[in-house]
């Protein structure tokens, strides 16, 4: 994607500083009410190399998504079997460290989530996790087990997660950056 072909949207508000972000291949500039267009465009131009680098990354990620081949039925079954061996063991390891109990563990082929925890303590995990490094699996397991203490995503919840799994943010970012391709490969419902 060429820098000069990118649409620029300017949003003015009572803020004091100018910032830019990339959204769906578009540059969104957030500026103070009184800032002139010339200043905004000059700032955007000064960030050209940063913008081009990130546009290239977005384009590459989209290309990868477009080329993702759906898993076969056999591959999904194999992933589920592998996940049934790995994930319950990780749950058994982390539950006492967190100080929680749980009920049933279910491995599913889920198209939108990596895991969930019900109010009854039933844990669900995505079979695709079996493809990921163990620390990524552990981050999802710890996340769901911590819901046994906090059924929300409050600061207290994340403090509990990071107390048990200090690398959580890095692993969560990895999952955000890389996981979408795998979910896409599960195909349509």
In a domain, 170, yes or no: yes
Q: Which H or E run includes 117? A: strand 115-117
- On whether both 125 and 98 belong to a single domain, the answer is yes
Structural domain range at position 8: 3-67
- On whether both 58 and 90 belong to a single domain, the answer is no
Q: In what order do the strands lie in the sheet with 115-117?
A: 105-108, 123-126, 115-117
Note whether 86 and 138 are within 8 A (CB).
no
- On whether both 115 and 171 belong to a single domain, the answer is yes
- On whether both 56 and 77 belong to a single domain, the answer is no
Q: How many domains does the chain fold into? A: 2
Note whether 145 and 124 are within 8 A (CB).
no
What is the model's pLDDT at position 189? 44
- On whether both 127 and 173 belong to a single domain, the answer is yes
Note whether 89 and 66 are within 8 A (CB).
no
Cα(first)–Cα(last) distance of the chain, in Å?
32
What is the model's pLDDT at position 96? 97
What is the model's pLDDT at position 3? 65
- On whether both 90 and 175 belong to a single domain, the answer is yes
pLDDT along the chain (189 residues), means of 10: 76 92 83 92 90 80 71 91 97 97 94 92 96 96 96 95 95 89 73
Q: Which H or E run includes 19? A: strand 19-23
pLDDT in tens, 83-102: 999 999 999 999 999 999 99
Among the listed residues 80, 127, 91, 109, the one whose alpha carbon sits nearest the alpha carbon of residue 188: 109
């Amino acid at each position: 994607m060429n820098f000069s072909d990118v649409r620029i949207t300017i949003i003015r508000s009572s803020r004091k500083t100018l910032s830019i972000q990339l959204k769906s291949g578009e540059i969104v500039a957030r500026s103070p009410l009184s800032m002139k267009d010339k200043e905004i465009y000059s700032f955007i131009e000064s960030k050209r190399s940063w913008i081009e680098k990130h546009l290239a990354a977005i384009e590459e990620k989209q290309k990868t998504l477009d080329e993702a081949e759906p898993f076969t039925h056999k591959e999904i079954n194999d992933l589920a079997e592998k996940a049934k061996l790995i994930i319950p063991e990780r749950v058994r390891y982390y539950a006492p460290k967190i100080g929680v109990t749980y009920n049933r563990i279910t491995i599913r082929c889920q198209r939108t989530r990596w895991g969930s925890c019900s109010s009854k303590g039933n844990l669900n995990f995505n079979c695709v996790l079996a493809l990921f490094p163990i620390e990524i699996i552990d981050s999802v397991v710890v996340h769901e087990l911590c819901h046994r203490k906090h059924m929300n995503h409050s600061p207290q919840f994340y403090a509990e997660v990071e107390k048990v799994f200090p690398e959580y943010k890095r692993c969560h970012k990895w999952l955000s950056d890389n996981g979408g391709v795998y979910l896409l490969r599960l195909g349509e419902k």
